[in-house]
Amino acid sequence: MRTLSEHLGAERPKIATILGSSLGDVAAAAGAPRSIAYGEIAGFPVPKVSGHAGELIVGTLGGRQVLFLRGRAHAYENGNAAVMRPAISALAESGVTTLIVTNAAGSLDPKLRPGSIMLIEDHINFSGMNPLIGETGDQGFVGMTEAYDPALRMRFLKAAKQEKIALAQGVYVWFSGPSFETPAEIRMVRQWGGDAVGMSTVPEVILARRFGLRVAALSIITNLGAGIEGAAPSHDETKREGAKAAADMTRLLESFMREAGDV
């Protein structure tokens, strides 16, 4: 089995994008696409959840060469918060310098409705897990003060303005899943200052910072959190609403790539 660098050959994209639940079709906008199954890349975890294809696309978007990861493995699949470590390590080794992470999330604010996009400005790790547990030496002491790169966030805000896409900003709260949050948990994290909840992204961001990558992250809001206006989230709702917002996410990413400058 070949490494990611061996699969890429002379191609060395600087930007990689992890496409979350039901956002895999964003990669359909890539020009000159080439597909590599995760199972063919040494160390890449193969997702076991519907809505995550487990396929890497090498292509162009907005005039830039980009790697699209169609789907992710989740910590809840086997209890391993570092399940995406081999993939993110391989991205760094292949020359990627910027990672854009997307996900489907539940809103903690009734004003942030399904179909909205939220730019993550910070996170709360409620899971009790960390992908760097067991790290040897001092490399696990990763600073997270500006984990979500301020300059990249400004570029996304500019792209959203150009595309006339409403782009909220907020704090993402990571629950381990796979069960959805209770109404009491939702009330609690709203008081903590959370704006959206989900079951991914945070371990990938921690790992990306460990390997020196710049990070930006976006949530598609697919539902209201449990108990808000009587909401009772489901995986089917997540997939359905996520797919509806894929077109706006594609336009936002394409505009960002056109203006990405030296990332």
Closest-CA residue to 16 (of 105, 95, 122):
95
**Measured distance CA(165)–CA(168) in Å, rounded:** 10
pLDDT in tens, 104-141: 999 999 999 999 999 999 999 999 999 999 998 899 99
Pairing state between β 64-70 and 15-19 = parallel
Tell me whether residue 234 is in a domain: yes
Phi, psi of 245 (to 5 degrees): -90, 0
Q: Is residue 63 part of a domain?
A: yes
Indicate whether 93 belongs to any domain: yes
Decide if 39 is inside a domain: yes
Query: In total, how many domains does the chain have?
Result: 1
Domain that holds residue 176: 4-258
- Residue pair 219/103 in contact by the 8 Å Cβ criterion: yes
Q: Which residues are catalytic?
A: 21, 52, 74, 76-77, 104, 199-200, 223, 235
pTM of the model: 0.95
Peptide bond into 178 cis (omega under 30): yes
235-244 and 246-258 helices, crossing angle to 10°: 50
Q: Within a domain: residue 263?
A: no
Query: Is there a domain that residue 146 lies in?
Result: yes
Question: Would you write out the chain's pLDDT as a tens digit for each of its 263 residues?
Answer: 899 999 999 999 999 999 987 787 888 889 888 999 999 999 999 887 766 678 999 999 999 999 999 989 999 999 999 999 999 999 999 999 999 999 999 999 999 999 999 999 999 999 999 999 999 889 999 999 999 999 999 999 999 999 999 999 999 999 999 999 999 999 999 999 999 999 999 999 999 999 999 999 999 999 999 999 887 777 777 777 777 788 999 999 999 999 866 66
Rounded to the nearest 5 percent, the helix, strand and coil shares of the chain are: 30, 25, 40
Looking up residue 53, the CATH number of its domain turns out to be 3.40.50.1580
